[in-house]
Amino acid sequence: MTRAIELPRARPEIDALPAYSKASGAATVRWRASSNESTIAPSPAVVDAIARVGAHGHLYPTLFADDLVAALAERLSVSADSVLTGAGSLALLQQVLTAYTGPDTEVVHAWRSYEAYPILIGIAGATAVPVPLDAKHRHDVDAMIAAVTPRTRAVLVCNPNNPTGTELTESELRRLLDGVPSHILVILDEAYREFAEEQVDGVALLREYPNVVVLRTFSKAYGLAGLRVGYAIANSAVAAPLHAAAPPFGLSSVAEAAACAALTDSGHTDRIVESVRSGRDHLRSGLADRGIETPASGGNFVWIPMVDRSTALDAACVAHSVSVRTFAGEGVRVTVGDRDAEDAVLAAVDAFTADRQN
């Protein structure tokens, strides 16, 4: 006789979480332009460091990545207790949300923005308050300020914004910071900062606005997405609860050594940034030649707002062996940095346009 068993149930918030989107055609294509990875492999200095430290993989790393914290604090001219590292900036965002938000609180963020936001906010048990981007795919600062309520604990700003690439100017960001009460955290996600045109510096702003937390990453301009290293910078009083909530040994010794080595090879980062800048110019101007306007991008990607034709363009890209990231009914995001992949996307656009005319 089979016994009826009742399995353990997760918290209802977890059952309700949205799922991550999938890259199109990921298994079959030649080029991955779907995940905003660097198209250039890590610096040889990083590869050497991984091999060196890997030989000591039987030993624990320091509890909180002391060497990397010290290197970042020196570079940013902040105290070491203002810096935290983690397994990607996503892990740090989770830590910030866990420490500062929770049930019966709200987190305001623009939408469309990085798809992990509503998921991580939901995991923390808080309520996401999405504020639509404006007609130019940019943050609507006034609407975000107006969305703040007594339950708001954090405002999350993606600058440059994934997936639209749009940036806030420094004066827009200051207007947002001036409009948000100082007991509310403003989390600035600067994952794409190195590629930005505006060069707004969240770390400079946090000296004036102590409620700012800046998130940065080694995944993009340093080409270390697979090694999982991110960091947060905050006023030391705001950082203290984050240190308390930090998972011990959160960064592997290999990841820490890789990040330290990456910091020593700025020429490599410059090459990654240069390939991205030239790739997005090439793709945007090729699209403009074909009558498709795209928002100026400060990220390593270009947003093609195809609205109801997004899924069809996605299929054309896969047919040309490029995987892209598509949000149906909104647009297609294409990671740049590989000229052949950018040209394949342009060829896909040509084929797609010809198809529509036949």
Ligand X SMILES: Cc1ncc(COP(=O)(O)O)c(C=O)c1O
> Residue 326, interface with ligand X (CB under 6 A)?
no
Which residue, 106 or 189, is less far from ligand X as judged by CB? Answer: 189
| Encoded tokens for 192 | 């794409």
Alpha-carbon span 192 to 301, nearest angstrom:
10
> Residue 225, interface with ligand X (CB under 6 A)?
yes
Q: What's at 323, amino acid-wise?
A: S
In the list 25, 42, 61, 88, the residue contacting ligand X (rule: CB under 6 A) is 88
Which residue, 191 or 322, is less far from ligand X as judged by CB? Answer: 191
Least Å distance, CB 47 to ligand X, is 19
In the list 101, 219, 300, 310, the residue contacting ligand X (rule: CB under 6 A) is 219
The position carrying tokens 């697979």 is 226
Least Å distance, CB 355 to ligand X, is 31
Q: CB under 6 A: which stretch of 87-95, 202-210, 241-249, 278-286 binds ligand X?
A: 87-95
> Looking at beta carbons, which residue is closest to ligand X?
88
> Residue 217, interface with ligand X (CB under 6 A)?
yes
Q: How far apart, in Å, are the Cα atoms of 63 and each of 59, 86, 217?
A: 12, 11, 20
> Residue 306, interface with ligand X (CB under 6 A)?
no
Q: What's at 223, amino acid-wise?
A: G
Q: Considering only CA atoms, which of 188, 249, 220 is closest in space to residue 63?
A: 249
> Residue 89, interface with ligand X (CB under 6 A)?
yes
Cβ burial of 330 (10 Å; 0-12, 13-18, 19+) is middle
In the list 173, 191, 276, 344, the residue contacting ligand X (rule: CB under 6 A) is 191
3-state secondary structure 304-336: ECCHHHHHHHHHHHHHCCEECEEECCCEEEEEC
Which residue ranges make up the site for ligand X (CB under 6 A)? 36, 88-90, 114, 158, 162, 189, 191, 217, 219, 225, 230
